[in-house]
Structure 1
Amino acid sequence: MYQEPIFLTPVFQERIWGGTKLAERFGYDIPSAQTGECWAVSAHPHGQTIVARGPFQGMTLGQLWEERRDLFGHFPSDRFPLLTKILDANADLSVQVHPDDEYAKTHEGGELGKTECWYIIDCKPGAELIYGHHAETKGQLRAMMEAGEWERLLRKVPIRPGDFFYVPSGTIHALCEGTLVLETQQSSDTTYRVYDYDRVDSQGRKRELHLEKAIDVTTVPHRDTDVRPHVAEVPGATVTTFVEGDYFGVQKWEIRDVLESEQTKPFLIISILEGEGELVHEGRIYPLRKGDHFILPHQFGLFAIRGVLEAIASWPRTGK
Structure 2
Amino acid sequence: MTQSPIFFKPVFKEKIWGGTALRDAFGYDILSETTGECWAISAHPKGPSTIANGPYKGKTLTELWDEHRELFGGVEGDRFPLLTKLLDVKEDMSIKVHPDDYYAGENEQGELGKTECWYIIDCKENAEIIYGHTARSKTELVTMINSGDWEGLLRRIKIKPGDFYYVPSGTIHALCKGTLVLETQQNSDATYRVYDYDRLETSGKPRELHFAKAINAATVPHVDGYIDESTETRKGITIKTFVQGEYFSVYKWDIDGEAELSQDESFLICSVIEGSGSLTYGKETCPFQKGDHFILPYNMSDFTIKGTCTLIVSHM
Q: Which bracket does the TM-score occupy, shorter chain normalised?
A: over 0.9
Matches of 1:259 and 1:45 in 2, distance apart? Answer: 36
Alignment of 1:97-112 (within 5 A): 97-112=97-112
Query: What letter matches 1:197 in structure 2?
Result: Y
Q: TM-score, normalised by structure 1?
A: 0.98
Q: Is the 8 A contact 1:111 1:190 kept in 2?
A: yes
Structure 2 SS opposite 1:65: helix
Matches of 2:312 and 2:57 in 1, distance apart? Answer: 24
- The residue number in structure 2 matching 1:225 is 225
2:251 equivalent to 1:251:
yes
- The residue number in structure 2 matching 1:191 is 191
Q: Please tell me the root mean square deviation across aligned C-alpha atoms, in Å.
A: 0.7
Gaps of 5+ in 1: none
1:176-232, CA deviations, whole angstroms, 9 ceiling, x for partnerless residues? 000000000000000000000001122221110001000001101001123231100
- The residue number in structure 2 matching 1:173 is 173
Matches of 1:247 and 1:228 in 2, distance apart? Answer: 15
Q: TM-score, normalised by structure 2?
A: 0.99
Cα displacement (A) at 1:2: 5.1
Structure 1 SS opposite 2:24: helix
**Paired residue total:** 316
- The residue number in structure 2 matching 1:242 is 242
Matches of 1:77 and 1:194 in 2, distance apart? Answer: 31
- The residue number in structure 1 matching 2:301 is 301
Q: Taking every aligned residue pair, what percent have the same amino acid on both sides?
A: 57
- The residue number in structure 2 matching 1:266 is 266
Gaps of 5+ in 2: none
Query: What letter matches 1:123 in structure 2?
Result: C
Structure 2 SS opposite 1:257: strand
- The residue number in structure 2 matching 1:129 is 129
Deviating beyond 6 angstroms after TM superposition, the runs of 4 or more aligned structure 1 residues are: none
Matches of 1:281 and 1:151 in 2, distance apart? Answer: 53
- The residue number in structure 1 matching 2:43 is 43
1:112-161, CA deviations, whole angstroms, 9 ceiling, x for partnerless residues? 00000000000000001000000000000011111111111000000000
Matches of 1:66 and 1:204 in 2, distance apart? Answer: 41
Query: What letter matches 1:9 in structure 2?
Result: K
Query: What letter matches 1:193 in structure 2?
Result: R
Query: What letter matches 1:146 in structure 2?
Result: N
Structure 1 SS opposite 2:30: coil
Matches of 2:202 and 2:63 in 1, distance apart? Answer: 35
